[in-house]
Amino acid sequence: MGATMIELFQRAEHFGANTAIVDLSGHYSFRELLDKSAAAASVLLDGKKNLQETRVAFLVSPGIDFVVTQWGIWRAGGIAVPLCGNYPIRELKYFLKDSGAEILVAAPEFKEKLKPLSEEDDLKYLESENWNSTEPVVLPDIQAEQRAMIVYTSGTTNRPKGVVMTHRTIQSQIKCLVDAWQWSEKDRSLHVLPLHHIHGLINALCCPLWAGAICEMLPKFDAEKVWKRIESKEISILMAVPTIYTKLIKEWEKVIPARQRLLTKKCKGLRLMVSGSAALPVSVFNKWSEVGGQPLLERYGMTEIGMALSNPINGERRAGMVGQCLPGVEVRLIDTKGLVSEIGPGEIEVKGANIFKEYWQQSTVTKKAFHGDWFRTGDIALLEEGYYKILGRAGIDIIKTGGYKVSALEIEGVLLTHSAIEECAVIGVPDEEWGERVAVSLVLNPGKDLCLPDLRDWAKKRLAIYKIPTRIQKLDTLPRNAMGKIIKPEISKMFQAVDRLEVG
């Protein structure tokens, strides 16, 4: 079984009998993880010496089987292509075809959904429960520059692109966060995130395994179960998205004051709670400081770069800010003239060993995404007193109205403080007079109503007049993708249905 291993696996050898993964089926050591992933690699190799970057798509539920499958693919020399169980068949077909997957691995519960797709595209089909059916063999040497994973972008504005990461890229992303957030063997993280996205794959899974910590994996997010695990005092780290923290707040608000105080006390004992993948509203930041007994650490990253900015683990965590450069990462702001701007606003460009290798089979798109060694994120930000503030996506969250440029994210943050509003999404809609008008889609709290004149009267005390919405539509839910991100182009289409709007 000897082979040149990347550092992640070398470190697992060192941690040996220490617990690595906890799921509903039990506790598993680093030694068991290595043995099981070696067996998985043997099955995947099927007599070959090296998969040589064969794409292996897989859909396995959170837990030991997911990690064994991912590690097995890597140790066999393959490229891991994680899929999402919530994707419709049409999307799954797209990922399989675009990645050029030759092998499809599925947990038994996904067989009915995936087996027909493997037959349709003539893919080799394997089930994750059969990894132990073959004796382990000598595994191939794994080099740091080999392609390791293709993770698809969220696709909120166009078709998802396959982001290619090498083992060196992944290692750089992990080491950066382990250093910045002070991971150690003493930590125990609670994993409640999707495993087809960078947040769940790198931040919440690979970081604890690198550090020799325990990663406890729940099958899916459940607010009541998460609070119970927090109450146990066994958990030291929680990584989540703003929506999860909002749901935890609502669960906290359901219980009597005495229990609220107990839960807050237990939550305050966690070493670190991180929010990412979407902008954290200031209202949620402030409320969680009360509910959780400590401020959330907000950071900034994306599929192509891992993480680039973070509020400090020790020091002031500022509401509405994503912090400062992480170790080994360089960030600059580029204005509309293509010049470097010290404070912005400008497009965030990032340079470092954390940057992805390429968009899968899209060389032209890859080339356009860079200024030399600098990756163009498409996100607009300001630098205020040493902390970065994200204004939004260029062309989506930056609204040009009446000669002003306004941030949709800023307006959303203010609107979310209104007692009637549960969720909202602000966009710019074309207008002959103003260029664009500020428009908002609202999801209201149960039993609440809100008309445009009342919203505007309320907003005049909190926003400049040109930032106040002049178009409004009320929805039962906001359109989201599989990662839970709001799909603003869909909202733009909805605003074409004039009869659904209130106009001011």
pLDDT tens for 52-97 read 999 999 999 999 999 999 999 999 999 999 999 888 898 899 999 9
Confidence of residue 500 (pLDDT cuts 50, 70, 90): very low
| CB 204 within 8 Å of CB 189 | yes
389-420 burial, b for 16+ CB within 10 Å, e for fewer? Answer: bbbbbbebbbbebeeeebbbbbbbbbbbebee
Which range is least confidently modeled, 15-29, 82-96, 184-198, 349-363?
Answer: 82-96
pLDDT tens-digit map of 90-136:
889 999 999 999 999 999 999 999 999 999 989 999 999 888 766 77
Q: Beta-strand (E) ranges in 394-482?
A: 398-401, 404-407, 421-431, 435-444, 471-474
- Tell me the pLDDT of the chain averaged across its residues: 92
Per residue in 291-304, pLDDT (tens digit) is: 999 999 999 999 99
Q: Where are the alpha helices (DSSP H) in 437-487?
A: 452-459
Average pLDDT over residues 252-261: 96
Statement: residue 162 has pLDDT above 70: yes
Quote the pLDDT of residue 434.
Answer: 84
pLDDT, position 404: 81
Give the DSSP letter of residue 382.
Answer: E
Residue bearing tokens 């889609």: 441
What does the pLDDT read at residue 11?
96
Residue 27 φ/ψ, nearest 5 degrees:
-110, 140
**Predicted local confidence at residue 1, as pLDDT:** 44
Give the burial class of 367: count Cβ atoms within 10 A of its Cβ; 0-12 exposed, 13-18 middle, 19 or more buried. Answer: exposed
**499 pLDDT higher than 50:** no
Give the pLDDT of residue 69: 97
Q: Structural domains in the chain?
A: 7-143 (3.40.50.980), 181-295 (3.40.50.980), 398-503 (3.30.300.30)
Q: How confident is the model at residue 2 (pLDDT cuts 50, 70, 90)?
A: very low
Quote the CA–CA distance of 311 and 307 in Å, as a whole number. Answer: 12
Mean pLDDT confidence for 371-390:
94
| CA dist., res. 175 & res. 85, Å (int) | 29
> Which residues pair with residue 378 across a beta bridge?
none
Instruction: Tell me the pLDDT tens digit for each residue of 442-491.
Output: 999 999 999 999 999 999 999 989 899 999 999 999 988 766 778 888 88
The DSSP element (H or E) to which 266 belongs, if any, is: helix 257-268
Other CB atoms within 10 Å distance of the CB of residue 69: 26
Judge whether residue 367 has pLDDT over 90. yes
Check whether 316 has a pLDDT greater than 70.
Answer: yes
Token readout for 415 is: 């609107």
| Percent of the chain surpassing pLDDT 90 | 80
Task: State pLDDT tens for residues 259-278.
Answer: 999 999 999 999 999 999 88
- DSSP 3-state of 110: helix
Distance between terminal CA atoms of the chain?
70
Task: Flag whether pLDDT at 250 surpasses 90.
Answer: yes
Q: In this predicted structure, which of 39-43, 330-334, 351-355, 395-399 has the lowest mean pLDDT? A: 395-399
Please state, in angstroms and rounded to a whole number, the distance separating the CA atoms of residues 68 and 488: 36
For 202-344, strand residue ranges (E) read 214-217, 237-240, 272-275, 297-302, 306-310, 324-325, 329-334, 340-341
pLDDT at 431 over 90: no
pLDDT higher than threshold 80 for residue 497: no
> HSE (CB half, 13 Å, CA atoms) of 115?
9
More confident call, 376 vs 480: 376
Helix ranges restricted to H, 417-468:
452-459
Cβ-proximal residues to 335 (8 Å cutoff; 6+ apart), any chain: 341, 344, 345, 346
Q: What one-character-per-residue DSSP string does 42-84 give? A: HHHHTT-S--TT-EEEEE--SSHHHHHHHHHHHHTT-EEEE--
Q: Cα separation of 228 and 221, whole Å?
A: 12
pLDDT at 400: 87
Confidence of residue 504 (pLDDT cuts 50, 70, 90): very low
In a 3-state reduction of DSSP, which class is residue 216? strand
Q: Which residue has the tokens 């409320």?
A: 287
Strands (E), 61-176: 79-82, 103-106, 124-127, 147-152, 162-166
Range with the lowest mean pLDDT among 240-244, 246-250, 477-481?
477-481
CB-count burial class (<10 Å; 0-12, 13-18, 19+) for 258: exposed
Beta strands 435-444 and 421-431, pairing class: antiparallel
Distance CA 134, CA 161 (A): 35
Do the Cβ atoms of 17 and 29 come closer than 8 Å? yes
